[in-house]
Chains A and B, each alone.
Chain A
Amino acid sequence: MRELILRALALDDPSAAFAASDTIARLLLAARVTLLFLAWLGLVARDDRAQRVAFAIACGLFVGSLAIVALFVPFALSALVVCVRHVAVASSRTRFASAIGAIFAISMLVLGSQYSARPAPAPPEDVAGLTAYWLDRENLFEARFWATQWAGAERERPGEGQLLLARIDWELGHRDAARSLLADVVARAPSPDARRRAATQLATWPSRDETR
């Protein structure tokens, strides 16, 4: 809430142009268009000279607040003036229409902001998790970067990291490096299961002559 108020006041960069770059900006946009629509309903309900002037000022400030975000608060206040003057004379039907309009505008914008803000899952912090994370995201280069660190950490006792690095190297075309990694696992891994899997994998890959 504090962040929302600070952003509405635009104290950090008052002359910046509006940009719907995050959820708060989108919420402020929702507030803008909702207030504008409510102000218009206020104008329709009470179409006198003073209301028209107030609405014209609100419109000018709405457009201005897109170019200079610091004008958001003056816009909001001017739109509220139009709305308050409207509420003073509104029938229940126009109040109902205003409420529907407000809910409609807000829901469309909030839904829109949620729709386009689906973030990628946060990466884990350990190298094994990071390797799996990038493999899951199908980025072999990032996966190789973390698998290399994982394999480096188990240099004395080759195991899963080296097996995975060999698989990624093979996929990326580093065939010789992949073979030597697996050969190292076969020769030195303390785990019989890792040795067996490395040997099986090595047997399934075509030999250097065959790949040529």
Chain B
Amino acid sequence: MRFVYTVWLGAAVAMLFAVAWHHMDLLGDGFWCMAAGDLVLSTHALPDRDPFAFTSTPAPWILHMPAFQIGSAWLARHAGLGAVLVVSTVVAAIAALVAWLPHARTPAARVVTFPLALYYLLVDADDLSARGQLFGDLGFAVLLVALTRMRLAPSAVATPARGLARARRWLAPIALGAVWANLHPSFLLAVIVPLAFAAVELLEPRGARPPLLPFVGFALAALVGACLNPYSFVLVIDVVKLASDPTTAHVDLFRSPDFHRLGWLLAPASAIAIVALRTRFGDPRGRRADVALLVLFVAATCVARRYGTMLVAVELMVAGRIASDAFVAPAWTRAAARPLFMAFTVAQIAVVAVHARERKDPLFHVPAEAAALLEARNLPDRVMNPYHWGGYLDWTWQGRRKVFVDGRNNLFANGTFDDATRISTLSDGWGDLLDMYEIGTVLWENGAPLDRALAKHAGWQEVHRDRRAVLYVRR
């Protein structure tokens, strides 16, 4: 039986990798990260001004994920864009594994929580792409493991440690903060979430709650670690500014998910189901804190879909513990366990076989042909481009041509971000905005509202159209 379970687990892990690969793409964010990394690799220095856009603020430009940006650029240079997709797939799948396996400790718990682990990858599959956020999700999964250990082993944490154990207790959050801060701006969660854990533990009866100071210490140590980056504490301050920048709230990722889609509604629904289960099952210790955490992350997900993946990670944390503590497979399943495991394994291997054969075109979602043609035909400067293509144009033009806007939204908080939205939605005065920004060439999505409007506009002339993009210049 153990062999059958091991084979199933292997197939389940392989399926997570296969599903991550199936949904992995290379979109604008990944490209502008590589563009910045390429710049660092070429100049052997951190940039201080943005060389990619003609509308960005001239304020100092800080790389918010230096290790990811430089690392992904290095990887793309030496092994190609396909390698970036492969590494990103591995990171996404490992994040799912870290969110799942440490919390679901028994075979039965792993079986019943596997669909949730799969959902962890699928909840925001449309946005699963090669970018620093994958490392942010991995960091969050690691953080949950660390904080769960602190919650469940209060006596061990409270006991004064000596020597190596004591050093490790402080070094772990420092290392997490340092690595996370160099990979993605979500490192602030390594500071905020431990404090939130401490806050929700206050809901527990005094005798049942773990000591709270270690959580505060963890947060402070992670903050110290976060300052271990090329910009030191300046990066931390800049990321706080980024989080509170008005443009960030308007980025699609930081807006509410579409709850008319069943895939998104499942995230709060499964959280509520776990709340109901937690009421009756699992260790009574930490029950209120678990439920408060779930409710908080449901609220966060309702505000911004960025937190959807994190909500599912919290669900896995709570559900894994409930299942490990309380789930006993019904008697009838024991008799049928072997054929059930085998059936699941065959289905999982089939999914792996289908997805593993997929060939990925890293340039599938970007206007590679139009961007190359614009340069080759030396079309007029000051190019108007959609927000989500700016990153690719940064990467492919390397500053030779400058873009109107890209995914570094805080650099466009000078009104450009809002104007880009007005132009793409054809709000009143969109044509005047093209004049005001002295746009010489429009590189836009084939079939988008702006494309249709310019096709009928006497002042603009179409010079190229392919399956993805169109190019217009002034008549």
Cross-chain contact B437 with A141 (CB below 8 angstroms):
yes
How many residue pairs link A and B with beta carbons under 8 A? The number is: 126
Please indicate the chain A residues that have their CB under 8 angstroms from the CB of B275 in the complex: 40, 59
Cross-chain contact B302 with A37 (CB below 8 angstroms):
no
Cross-chain contact A100 with B279 (CB below 8 angstroms):
no
The stretch of A76-84, A113-121, A154-162, A200-208 that contacts the partner chain: A113-121
CA distance A172 to B437 in the complex (A): 10
Q: A20-B302, A26-B303 are in contact. Are A101 and B203 (CB under 8 A)?
A: yes
Residue of A nearest to B303 (CB): A20
Cross-chain contact B276 with A55 (CB below 8 angstroms):
yes
Q: A20-B256, A66-B259 are in contact. Are A108 and B291 (CB under 8 A)?
A: no
Residue B465 is within 8 A (CB to CB) of chain A in the complex: no
Main secondary structure of the interface of A (DSSP, over half): helix
Cross-chain contact A101 with B292 (CB below 8 angstroms):
yes
Residue of A nearest to B280 (CB): A47
Please indicate the chain A residues that have their CB under 8 angstroms from the CB of B205 in the complex: 93
Q: A18-B259, A63-B265 are in contact. Are A37 and B291 (CB under 8 A)?
A: yes
Chain A interface residue count, Cβ-Cβ cutoff 8 angstroms: 49
Cross-chain contact B199 with A104 (CB below 8 angstroms):
yes
Q: A137-B415, A141-B436 are in contact. Are A97 and B288 (CB under 8 A)?
A: yes
The stretch of B18-26, B51-59, B323-331 that contacts the partner chain: B51-59
Please indicate the chain B residues that have their CB under 8 angstroms from the CB of A97 in the complex: 203, 288
Cross-chain contact B265 with A67 (CB below 8 angstroms):
yes
Residue B219 is within 8 A (CB to CB) of chain A in the complex: no
Residue A87 is within 8 A (CB to CB) of chain B in the complex: no
Greatest chain B CB density within 10 A among A20, A119, A134, A137 is at A20
Residue of A nearest to B414 (CB): A139
Name the distance in Å between B385's Cβ and chain A's nearest Cβ: 15
Cross-chain contact A138 with B299 (CB below 8 angstroms):
no
Select which of B57, B249, B292, B302 is within 8 A of A18 by beta carbon: B302
Residue A19 is within 8 A (CB to CB) of chain B in the complex: yes
Residue of B nearest to A56 (CB): B276
Residue A170 is within 8 A (CB to CB) of chain B in the complex: no
Q: A17-B260, A101-B203, A118-B246 are in contact. Are A33 and B303 (CB under 8 A)?
A: no
Which B residues from 383 to 429 make CB contacts under 8 A with A? 413-416, 419
Select which of B57, B244, B268, B436 is within 8 A of A63 by beta carbon: B268
Which A residues from 53 to 83 make CB contacts under 8 A with B? 55-56, 59, 62-63, 66-67
Cross-chain contact B244 with A134 (CB below 8 angstroms):
no
Select which of B57, B199, B255, B292 is within 8 A of A21 by beta carbon: B255
Q: A66-B259, A105-B299, A117-B249 are in contact. Are A141 and B279 (CB under 8 A)?
A: no
CA distance A3 to B244 in the complex (A): 26
Q: A66-B302, A100-B203 are in contact. Are A139 and B416 (CB under 8 A)?
A: yes
Cross-chain contact B413 with A59 (CB below 8 angstroms):
no
Cross-chain contact A142 with B436 (CB below 8 angstroms):
yes
Q: Nearest 7 CB-CB pairs, A to B?
A: A139-B414, A17-B259, A19-B256, A138-B57, A66-B259, A20-B303, A33-B299
